[in-house]
C-alpha cells in the first residue's frame, strides 16, 4: 500500500510507502536529501523485491524533528519494520541516505541482512571528503551557527518549495544530464518535488545539521552485514573521495566504481547490486 503513516510514541508521524509483493525480499529504502519515500518506487516494481520507502522527518508525510541525529533516526525505520512484521530485511541508502542505512545496520545487526549504498556521503569528520563538498548547500549549512540560519541558507539554494532545486546541482556530468532528461524522470519530477519539499527545506536542513558533525551518533564498527557500495567516479555532488573513505572504515565492504557515472545516474548499478544481494 502506498502513502501510509504511522503514529510514533513521541507524537510524531512517520510516512512510508510499501512497494511490491508481501512475499518478496523486504528492502528498507533510505532516500537522498532532498528526497522522499517515492525514491524507492522504481526498485519496488522489480519482481522479487518489496521496497519500503521511509520519509525521514521533515520530508513527505513525516513530521519534522529538529535536532535529530543519524543514529537517532533508526527508531523510525524499525517502528515501520515492526508495523509491517518484517523480521529481517535489506537496506538501501542513496546519497545522504547512505549514512542512515549504515546506522540502521549498526542498530539492528540481527535484522539487517545487507546494505547497498549509492553515491553515499561519508563521515564528515574526514577532511578531504568535507572539503570536496564545500558548496552553499553543504558547507554553507554545516557552518551555520543555528538552525534558523541554516534554514535561510537552504531556502536560498532550493527555494522554499524546491523550485530552484535543478539549478542547485551545478555542473553535472553527461550521464547525470541524460538521467534527468529521461521521460520517466521528467514525468515524476513534480510529484517528487512536492514530497521532497512538503515541509519546505526543514528535512534537508536537518539532514545537513545531522551529518555535519560526523558519524558521532552511531558506531560504524557495529556494521557486520555485507555491504556493497556503488559510486560514480564522475559524481560532482558527492565526489568519490567519500566512498573511498567509507570503504576504509568497513573491511567487509565491496566498493564498485563506475567511471562515466555521476550522482543522478547511479540507479541501475544500485538496483543490480540490490538484486544480487536479494538473490543470496
Question: Residue 119 gets which letter from DSSP?
Answer: S
Using one digit for the tens of pLDDT, what is the confidence trace for 66-89?
999 999 999 999 999 999 999 999
Say if residues 62 and 22 touch (Cβ distance below 8 Å).
Answer: no
For the chain, the average pLDDT equals 96
Q: CA dist 113 to 17, 27, 195, 246, Å?
A: 21, 10, 29, 19
Using one digit for the tens of pLDDT, what is the confidence trace for 113-137?
999 999 999 999 999 999 999 899 9
Domain ranges of the chain: 4-278
Of the pLDDT bands very low, low, confident and very high (cuts 50, 70, 90), residue 1 is low
Predicted TM-score (pTM) above 0.95 = yes
CATH class belonging to 4-278: alpha beta
Q: What is the pLDDT of residue 207?
A: 98
Q: Could you tell me what percent of the chain has a pLDDT over 70? A: 100
Nearest to 36 by CA among 95, 111, 103: 95
Alpha helices of the chain — where are they, by DSSP H?
Answer: 41-44, 70-83, 97-107, 127-131, 139-142, 147-158, 174-180, 183-196, 202-211, 241-249, 267-278
Of the pLDDT bands very low, low, confident and very high (cuts 50, 70, 90), residue 167 is confident
Amino acid at each position: 500500500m502506498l502513502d501510509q503513516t504511522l503514529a510514533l510514541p513521541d507524537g510524531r508521524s512517520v510516512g512510508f510507502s510499501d512497494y511490491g509483493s508481501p512475499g518478496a525480499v523486504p528492502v528498507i529504502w533510505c532516500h537522498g536529501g532532498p528526497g522522499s519515500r517515492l525514491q524507492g518506487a522504481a526498485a519496488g516494481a522489480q519482481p522479487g523485491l518489496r521496497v519500503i520507502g521511509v520519509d525521514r522527518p521533515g520530508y513527505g508525510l513525516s513530521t519534522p524533528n529538529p535536532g535529530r541525529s543519524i543514529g537517532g533516526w533508526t527508531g523510525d525505520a524499525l517502528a515501520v519494520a515492526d508495523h509491517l512484521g518484517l523480521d529481517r530485511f535489506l537496506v538501501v541508502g542513496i546519497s545522504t541516505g547512505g549514512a542512515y542505512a549504515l546506522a540502521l545496520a549498526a542498530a539492528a545487526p540481527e535484522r539487517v541482512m545487507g546494505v547497498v549504498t549509492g553515491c553515499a556521503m561519508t563521515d564528515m569528520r574526514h577532511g578531504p571528503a568535507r572539503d570536496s563538498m564545500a558548496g552553499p548547500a553543504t558547507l554553507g549549512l554545516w557552518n551555520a551557527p543555528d538552525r534558523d540560519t541554516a534554514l535561510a541558507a537552504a531556502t536560498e539554494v532550493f527555494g522554499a518549495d524546491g523550485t530552484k532545486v535543478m539549478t542547485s546541482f551545478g555542473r553535472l556530468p553527461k550521464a547525470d544530464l541524460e538521467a534527468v532528461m529521461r521521460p520517466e524522470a521528467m514525468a515524476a519530477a513534480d510529484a517528487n518535488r512536492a514530497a521532497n519539499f512538503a515541509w519546505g527545506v526543514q528535512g534537508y536542513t536537518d539532514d545537513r545539521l545531522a551529518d555535519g558533525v560526523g558519524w558521532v551518533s552511531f558506531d560504524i564498527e557495529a556494521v557486520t552485514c555485507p555491504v556493497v557500495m556503488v559510486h560514480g567516479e564522475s559524481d560532482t555532488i558527492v565526489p568519490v573521495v567519500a566512498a573511498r573513505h567509507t570503504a576504509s572504515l568497513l573491511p567487509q565492504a565491496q566498493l564498485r566504481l563506475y567511471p562515466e557515472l555521476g550522482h543522478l545516474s547511479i540507479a541501475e548499478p544500485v538496483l543490480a547490486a540490490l538484486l544480487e544481494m536479494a538473490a543470496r
